[in-house]
């Protein structure tokens, strides 16, 4: 069903909400005057256009989609500009601030509750003082943590995606939502809430927002899919409600708070509306359509869900999850005699952002079990580094590059046995297709504290998320 800007008549509809809930959900649809022939069709007026649409629906729909907004014509000339603090394209800064405030309130309320618990339950030394512990942890970090893979690669990306959803559903583009997630995971969580309990983690500072971006965008689109199917999963409303709460717990919790107090304390709920030019034939002719994404929970919880849907998508934003790359590979390290450890084969991992064909930045990690020369006993070797890469011959699938950065070499899986290093090197990137690439590189590492030198080579298979390289 389609709303056409110039030829559609609408009649006013008022809903009396007898319960405390007004849940707006993603059910993208448009109603056309030609189709409004049965009692089941909804007709609204006055006619909606780009100028009055905000006034008509603003009180009902609390979120928006970047894909339904119209940025300035030259917006993408600077694809990595940040609009988070100066929304000028229709992004909903008020909704973002409202939900951000709620997140801080929830988090610090939990800290306050834990502080009131007995020490044998909270494991907090009250004589030391929780703020002294927070200060000490912040000063000691960040460090390479020893958390499990489940926590690092499932738990942290999930919460990164939760932060991401707050901005994405407030009308911000993917890049701004990623920046928001990075700020929240860094200052609210790692150096905020979690620092009351432990030292901030290097992996968490990177993994939470970066993989949170990929999960969050998936969750954002999955939520729309569920709402377009009437809020059901496998035909079950209960499973649908559970899935929606897990996909966006901040919004679900905020709706619950509003219901509890019987008024809108936090801007919450899900729905989308926008005006967009749609191509209607092969000649390229377009018409302006109003796309309304709304479902209202009424009375005892009955839902209105339209029968036909359209979803607008915009492919002209050059920055999406396709710039996120994750790799796995093998390498070899030749160590300085200072360490009295044999050279050996390493396992390689990396996670990074490939901003363009010319530049990328990634965190890489190497590990191995090597032999000590004196005793022949095994010793755990680890190395991590934050590097930038600059590529040449960018229009080709074969791209030489140079790389440089810094990191640490670590022994015994113990942060007390580590040494700061700088490194530089060169490599070759081969594009297999948009989602996969191979890289081989050589690096020279120099320990500034120990005056040691290591050489390392590595080969990695890189996977790019989403649609991959543009």
pLDDT digits 0-9 by tens, 198-254: 899 999 999 999 999 999 999 999 998 888 888 889 988 889 889 988 998 887 787
Residue 370 has pLDDT above 90, yes or no: yes
Residue 46 has pLDDT above 60, yes or no: no
Q: What is the mean pLDDT of residues 182-202?
A: 93
> What secondary structure letter does DSSP report for 348?
E
- CA-CA distance, 272 to 26, in Å (whole number)? 7
Banded pLDDT at 309 (limits 50, 70, 90): very low
> What secondary structure letter does DSSP report for 236?
B
Measured between alpha carbons, how far is residue 108 from residues 103, 159, 182, 187, 465 in Å? 9, 16, 19, 13, 34
- CA-CA distance, 220 to 125, in Å (whole number)? 41
Residue 30 has pLDDT above 60, yes or no: no
Report the phi/psi class of residue 319: left, alpha or beta, with left for phi > 0 and alpha for psi in -120 to 50: beta
The answer to whether residue 112 is domain-embedded is no
Give the residue among 285, 296, 173 at the shortest CA–CA distance from 231.
Answer: 296
Q: Indicate the number of domains in the chain.
A: 1
- CA-CA distance, 45 to 56, in Å (whole number)? 10
β-partners of residue 438 are 430, 461
Selected residue with higher pLDDT from 55 and 351: 351
Indicate the pTM of the whole model.
Answer: 0.76
The answer to whether residue 280 is domain-embedded is no
Residue 93 has pLDDT above 80, yes or no: yes
Q: Of 38-52, 140-154, 178-192, 326-340, which range is least confident?
A: 38-52
Return mean pLDDT, the chain.
79
The beta-strand segments (E) located in 1-154 are 3-4, 28-29
Which CATH number goes with the domain that contains 398? 2.40.160.20
Q: What is the mean pLDDT of residues 67-90?
A: 84
Contact, 185 vs 200, CB < 8 A? no
Residue 446 has pLDDT above 60, yes or no: yes
Residue 273 has pLDDT above 70, yes or no: no
- CA-CA distance, 412 to 367, in Å (whole number)? 11
Domain span holding position 405 = 321-464
The reported pLDDT for the residue numbered 366 is 97
Contact, 383 vs 365, CB < 8 A? yes
The residue with tokens 């007390």 is 416
Alpha helices in 188-231 (DSSP H): 202-228
Assign 182 to helix, strand or coil: helix
In the numeric block, which tokens belong to residue 219? 């969750």
The answer to whether residue 457 is domain-embedded is yes
What's the pLDDT tens digit per position in 325-334?
999 999 999 9
Banded pLDDT at 285 (limits 50, 70, 90): low
**Distant-in-sequence, close-in-space partners of 422: CB < 8 Å, separation ≥ 6:** 404, 405, 406, 445, 446, 448
Give the residue among 177, 29, 186 at the shortest CA–CA distance from 91.
Answer: 177
The reported pLDDT for the residue numbered 265 is 67
The answer to whether residue 217 is domain-embedded is no
One-character DSSP codes across 382-422: EEEEEEEEEESSTTSSEEEEEEEEEEEEEETTEEEEEEEEE
The residue with tokens 């901003």 is 355
Assign 379 to helix, strand or coil: strand
Give the residue among 162, 145, 41, 155 at the shortest CA–CA distance from 100.
Answer: 162
Contact, 438 vs 462, CB < 8 A? yes
The reported pLDDT for the residue numbered 272 is 40
Residue 78 has pLDDT above 60, yes or no: yes
Q: Of 128-142, 349-363, 421-435, which range is least confident?
A: 128-142
The answer to whether residue 406 is domain-embedded is yes
Contact, 346 vs 441, CB < 8 A? no
Give the residue among 256, 273, 198, 292 at the shortest CA–CA distance from 1.
Answer: 292
Selected residue with higher pLDDT from 171 and 252: 171
The answer to whether residue 251 is domain-embedded is no
In the numeric block, which tokens belong to residue 184? 């929240």
The answer to whether residue 385 is domain-embedded is yes
One-character DSSP codes across 243-282: HHHHH-HHHHHHHHHHHHHTS-SS-----EEEEEEEE-ST
Cis peptide before 46 (omega within 30 of 0): yes
Residue 470 has pLDDT above 70, yes or no: yes
β-partners of residue 458 are 331, 441
Residue 402 has pLDDT above 70, yes or no: yes
Contact, 440 vs 411, CB < 8 A? no
> What secondary structure letter does DSSP report for 111?
H
The reported pLDDT for the residue numbered 386 is 97
Residue 58 has pLDDT above 60, yes or no: no
The answer to whether residue 434 is domain-embedded is yes
């Amino acid at each position: 069903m389609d709303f056409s800007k110039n030829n559609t008549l609408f009649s006013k509809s008022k809903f009396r909400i007898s319960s405390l809930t007004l849940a707006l959900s993603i059910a993208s649809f448009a109603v056309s005057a030609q189709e409004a022939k049965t009692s089941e069709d909804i007709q609204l007026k006055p006619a909606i256009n780009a100028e009055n649409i905000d006034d008509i629906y603003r009180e009902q729909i609390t979120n928006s989609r970047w894909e339904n907004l119209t940025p300035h014509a030259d917006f993408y000339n600077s694809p990595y500009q940040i609009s988070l603090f100066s929304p000028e394209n229709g992004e909903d800064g008020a909704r973002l601030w409202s939900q951000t405030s709620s997140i801080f309130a929830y988090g610090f309320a939990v800290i306050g509750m834990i502080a009131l618990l007995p020490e044998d339950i909270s494991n907090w030394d009250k004589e030391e003082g929780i703020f002294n512990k927070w200060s000490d942890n912040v000063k000691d970090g960040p460090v390479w943590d020893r958390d499990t893979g489940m926590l690092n690669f499932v738990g942290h990306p999930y919460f990164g995606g939760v932060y991401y959803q707050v901005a994405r559903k407030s009308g911000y583009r993917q890049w701004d939502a990623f920046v928001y997630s990075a700020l929240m995971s860094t200052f609210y969580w790692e150096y905020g809430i979690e620092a009351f309990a432990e030292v901030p983690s290097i992996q968490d500072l990177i993994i939470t927002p970066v993989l949170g971006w990929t999960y969050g965008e998936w969750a954002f689109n999955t939520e729309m899919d569920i709402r377009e199917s009437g809020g059901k999963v496998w035909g079950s409303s209960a499973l649908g409600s559970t899935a929606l709460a897990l996909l966006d717990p901040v919004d679900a919790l905020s709706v619950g708070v509003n219901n509890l107090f019987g008024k809108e304390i936090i801007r919450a709920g899900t729905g989308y509306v926008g005006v967009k030019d749609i191509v209607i034939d092969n000649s390229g002719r377009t018409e302006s359509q109003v796309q309304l994404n709304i479902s209202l929970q009424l009375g005892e919880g009955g839902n209105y869900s339209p029968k036909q849907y359209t979803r607008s998508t915009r492919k002209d934003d050059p920055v999406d999850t396709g710039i996120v790359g994750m790799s796995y590979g093998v390498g070899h390290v030749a160590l300085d005699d200072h360490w009295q450890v044999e050279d050996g084969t390493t396992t390689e991992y990396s996670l990074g952002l490939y901003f363009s064909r010319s530049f990328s930045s990634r965190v890489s990690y190497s590990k191995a079990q090597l032999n000590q020369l004196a005793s022949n006993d095994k010793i755990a070797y680890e190395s991590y580094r934050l590097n930038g890469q600059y590529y040449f011959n960018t229009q080709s699938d074969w791209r030489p590059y140079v790389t440089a950065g810094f990191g640490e070499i670590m022994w015994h899986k113990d942060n007390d046995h580590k040494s700061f290093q700088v490194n530089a090197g060169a490599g070759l990137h081969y594009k297999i297709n948009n989602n996969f690439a191979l890289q081989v590189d050589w690096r020279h590492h120099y320990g500034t504290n120990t005056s040691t030198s290591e050489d390392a080579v590595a080969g990695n298979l890189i996977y790019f998320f989403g649609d991959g390289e543009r």
